[in-house]
Amino acid sequence: MSQRPNYQMLFMEKIKGLLSPQQALADVLADLLSVSKDSAYRRIRCETDLTLEEVLVICEHFRITFESLSNPNAVTFQFKQLKPEIASFRDYLTNMLGDLQRIKSFENAEIIYAAEDIPVFHHFPFPLLSSFKTYYWMRSIMNVKAFEGTRFNYGLIDEDVLELGRQIHKTYLSIPSAEIWTDETISSTLNQIEYYWEAGLFENADVGRAVCDEFIAELRGIQNLCEIGSKQHVGFRFYHNDIMIGNNCILIKAGTTRFCYLSHHSFNFMLTTDFAFSGETESWLENMMKRSMLISGVSEKQRNIFFSQLIKRVEDVREEMR
């Protein structure tokens, strides 16, 4: 009979990989479980068995499942359930900001983003565009009743929600990242703008054109990041890929830790810390980057052609708004 693995030891090793370099496992466990540091060490050394309640507390804190240790084919995802309320979207942004701040705390952290849609972080410096995206998500996806029967205009989104977005963007700029775009990455946002115009859901044409103007400014801003190849003194790599990506996929590399976000329900994300799944995702992304053209810092001609074509598509939609 084969010897059963020491699941508690495997559990502790998994947790260690999720800690930032500034954190000590014994200190974290002592705080989480309300035990002494010596008692925490005994659990780490497997001299004291973890109780079921303690396992659940640790799993909830680190967003992992014990099942993933005993079943290598089981991949568990967590997500923030959204309710049709403005407060729920506010919580969604608060959680996003917290996740980014946690990623930033790791040494050598990096975000690799395969972007079927424009990464949400880029929208937030532009108040009207980010208001439009927020309004679209809450009205058309979340079915928030407060927006029923309304048309988009200035001032519909609370300032504290927009401020959360600005903090998210600022934090994203401080984390090294790589983004993989296709020619269709802007299509989702562009289609949303076009649909709202054709459905009469802008207050007037001036508002629709102003959203397009900020969309163009956003694309020019991303183009500028590509030109200098960095953002706030951290690395920024931007790849143009000719193949449709199919889904937004974000890999977080933080030291030896890997975890992965996948999009669902248009803009929400599911998270897994599963090591094997994240490892396969990393390999897929590396392969995709090898088959893409790097247009940040190099390839000026290709970069200018790529962004000129995207901006022309937005300008064409803007011209329809008369």
Pairs from 312-320 (Cβ < 8 Å, separation ≥ 24)? 313/186, 313/190, 314/186, 314/190, 314/212, 314/215, 314/216, 314/219, 315/212, 315/216, 317/190, 317/193, 317/194, 317/197, 317/212, 318/208, 318/209, 318/212, 318/213, 318/216, 320/194, 320/197
**Res 74: pLDDT:** 66
Q: How far apart are CA 209 and CA 33, in angstroms?
A: 55
**Res 262: pLDDT:** 87
Q: In the chain, where are the structural domains located?
A: 7-70, 78-320
Regions in the chain scoring below 50 on pLDDT: 1
**Res 67: pLDDT:** 67
pLDDT digits (tens, 9 = 90+) for 73-125: 667 777 777 889 999 999 999 999 999 998 998 888 999 999 999 999 999 99
Name the average pLDDT for the chain. 90
**Res 138: pLDDT:** 95
pLDDT digits (tens, 9 = 90+) for 113-156: 999 999 999 999 999 999 999 999 999 999 999 999 999 999 99
**Cβ partners under 8 Å of residue 52, min gap 6:** none
Amino acid 10 reads L
**Res 1: pLDDT:** 45
| Domain 7-70, CATH class in plain words | mainly alpha
